[in-house]
Structure 1
Amino acid sequence: MITAITVAAIILAYGFTILNGIHDGCNVIATIIASRSMPPRRAIIIACAAELIGPLFVGTAVAATIGKGVIKFNYINASGNIVSVVTILAALVGAICWNLLTWKLGIPSSSSHALIGGLLGAGIAGFGLAAIDWHSLIFKVILIMFASPLIGFGIGYIFMKLSIGIFKNFNPKINNFFKHIQVLSMIFLGTSHGSSDGQKAAGIITLLMVVGGMTQEFVVSKWILLSSTFALVFGISLGGWSIIKTVGTGIYKVKPLHSFNVQLSSAFVIFTSNMLGAPVSTTQIVSSSVMGIGSAERINAVKWIRVKNIVLSWFITIPAAGIASMGIFYILKLILI
């Protein structure tokens, strides 16, 4: 029975990753489409290619944080323990439910934080508060969760101010230059996102294989990393158009110059976080970068009412997904354990 549940959970992990691609991955192409710098089909093709390249250049530090840095590994690492498998299954279901709700509402919340919230809630339900690695959760997740959008906002603001200072006397046709150069900035953002979010699913799948008795140690293999990234890319190819609209026009009406600065600042923050093993939110960083570039140019033109709703979703995602996963764990426990 445990093997069947493990296989079902692994399939669900790939399903979560596809939804992650639809929900979060569309941030990679949101501004380039909204600024009319590139047709949607071409943007998706280039972004998907960049996402696939990402895992080739970065290690698996983020996968280790997701797999072993929320629920303590010694608590969940009991090969053949059905409670461990059901805990991860409940975490995935809770995260998926939250993603579907925010996707339906067009709110750019974080799939990464939904997954972390799911692991947190299900982990507490399955093993108790002592099973949570609070040090890793606070310093690698919570602090980074608050810091990364602030850094994204700050870098976006600085990049935009520099651009205004450098290009203010240029012919308006300079926007045509930024339409074309965005290919490079989008590739940088796509590879950074692919290396980050592909790892998150890979960490969960590897953990499932350990607790389900399919492998002996937590080592993220290349095939798991690549297959997770393929699932992510498939989700991006489907396009999360409501979220693209929110990020591209719902915060600030972006033009090619804005879009270039958003992509460059976001990619820088995400790539640096990957090196540190911090599972940051692409959604948060891209959205905050849009806020930064908008504030640098015309602060009154930023749609702060929409920003308030987006920021609120950042705060409630982890607890909401956690509560959902906790409830789902108790339901699954009655059925499966």
Structure 2
Amino acid sequence: MIITYTAIIVALFLAMNIGASGAAASISIAYGSGALPKKKVALLVCGVAIFLGAVLGGSEVVKTIGSNIVPSSILDEKVVLIILSSAALSLFIANLMGIPLSTSEITVGSVVGVGVAFKALFVKNILVIVAFWFIVPIAAFSMALLWGRGIKLLEKKFPAVKNGKYNKPITIFVIVVGFLEAFSAGMNNVANAAGPLVGAGVVSITTGVWVGGLFIALGAIFLGGRVLQTNGKKITSFSLLEGGAISSTGAILVILASVFGLPVPLTQVTSTAIIGIGFAQRGKVIFQQSIINKILKVWVVSPILSLVLSYGLVKIFVDTDIYTVVVLFSVSIATLGTLSLANTIKKENRTYFENSGGI
């Protein structure tokens, strides 16, 4: 019983961190474009929309996370606690860094890690999910790029649009589509906190989406400010109309994915859409910004990190296989040490040649 209560507490903690991270992927466009200039108001709108999305449309993705990645028969309270702890720890670290991390990638990575440890995976379903992790962001970038070029042509042909003559209706449009994007965040992300509990039979789907949606909303409202600032202000500047195009892209793609029960990386959808608009504005120079490089690296690392964490925790607390844990720890230390050494050598070489030490 203690393990069950602990798993529920960790799930609620994870839900709040999902809200904190998901804020950047849902309402940051309305905030960054100036449609909702006050951060507190933007986060409140985000929270309400996330809760409604979770309650009204979150059940299909919950079923996918709970039973379509690994057999639900291996999901007991202890295993669910491992999955949620791995996901929560990964996401908490990312939130401290202010990086808009994909909660779907983290949660799926944690579930897959458990499946690897038990040698029980629905590989075909996993491959479909991972494929859409690539397809959906690429589609978002392409759609946003087309939107951006179309907006440039529109503003060139009708200068009044660019000069702010139609700002009021455009502002309303951006707020509406921003709300819909946050709604889609609730639909897709509530499964990341509730799915493992539902799969283990700890809570029903209805209870999972209601309570999970509430705590994700609270996380967005009270903890989402830093990630909101990162996604809304630090990648590229954009107009109201461009902001509406980005939110529309995210809302359409994520709602469609949620209807079919696909957990997709919402932050990647929004961030790649923002990059698509930036590419339409400024060309390939947008890819040189360090914030984008940082986000891309975390996207790659996040599912692997959560997979290794959950796998290692299963080996410690379920299999009591200390030897495997020692190997994992050693590999991690060796990898970090190699990367650190390579970085040090690179810096030394740069200093050497800058001081005329080269040939």
Q: TM-score w.r.t. structure 2 length? A: 0.81
1:42 counterpart residue number: 41
The aligned amino acid for 2:98 is G
2:19 counterpart residue number: 21
Task: Tell which structure's C-alpha radius of gyration is larger.
Answer: 2
The aligned amino acid for 1:135 is K
Matched, 1:92 2:89: no
Which structure 2 residues correspond to residues 77-88 of structure 1 after superposition, within 5 A? 84-88=76-80
Shift of 1:277: 0.9
Shift of 1:9: 0.7
Task: Pick the aligned partner of 1:332 from 303, 317, 320.
Answer: 317
Does structure 2 retain, via aligned residues, the 8 Å contact 1:31–1:248? yes
Q: TM-score w.r.t. structure 1 length? A: 0.86
Identity of aligned residues (%): 21
Query: What SS does the aligned partner of 2:159 have?
Result: coil
Matched, 1:258 2:246: no
**Counterparts of 2:192 and 2:93 in 1: how far apart (Å)?**
21
2:142 counterpart residue number: 154
Shift of 1:202: 2.6
**Counterparts of 1:264 and 1:276 in 2: how far apart (Å)?**
19
Matched, 1:229 2:213: yes
Which consecutive unaligned segments of at least 5 residues does structure 1 have?
A: 78-83
Which consecutive unaligned segments of at least 5 residues does structure 2 have?
A: 321-359
Shift of 1:174: 4.3
**Counterparts of 1:223 and 1:322 in 2: how far apart (Å)?**
27
Shift of 1:300: 4.3
What is the root-mean-square deviation of aligned Cα atoms in Å? 2.1
Query: What SS does the aligned partner of 2:27 have?
Result: helix
**Counterparts of 1:266 and 1:30 in 2: how far apart (Å)?**
12
Task: Pick the aligned partner of 1:176 from 142, 164, 167.
Answer: 167
Question: Once the two structures are superposed, what CA deviation does each residue of 1:97-152 show, in whole Å capped at 9, x if it has no partner?
Answer: 11122112222221111111111112322x12xx011111111x210111111011
The aligned amino acid for 1:255 is S
**Counterparts of 2:232 and 2:315 in 1: how far apart (Å)?**
40
1:273 counterpart residue number: 257
Shift of 1:322: 0.7
Aligned residues: 314
Does structure 2 retain, via aligned residues, the 8 Å contact 1:175–1:256? no
Task: Pick the aligned partner of 1:138 from 127, 138, 144.
Answer: 127
The aligned amino acid for 1:318 is P
> After TM superposition, which residue ranges in structure 1, 4 or more long, deviate above 4 angstroms?
none
Does structure 2 retain, via aligned residues, the 8 Å contact 1:248–1:254? no
1:185 counterpart residue number: 177
Does structure 2 retain, via aligned residues, the 8 Å contact 1:34–1:248? yes
2:93 counterpart residue number: 101
**Counterparts of 2:15 and 2:306 in 1: how far apart (Å)?**
16
Query: What SS does the aligned partner of 1:253 have?
Result: coil
The aligned amino acid for 2:230 is T
The aligned amino acid for 1:150 is I
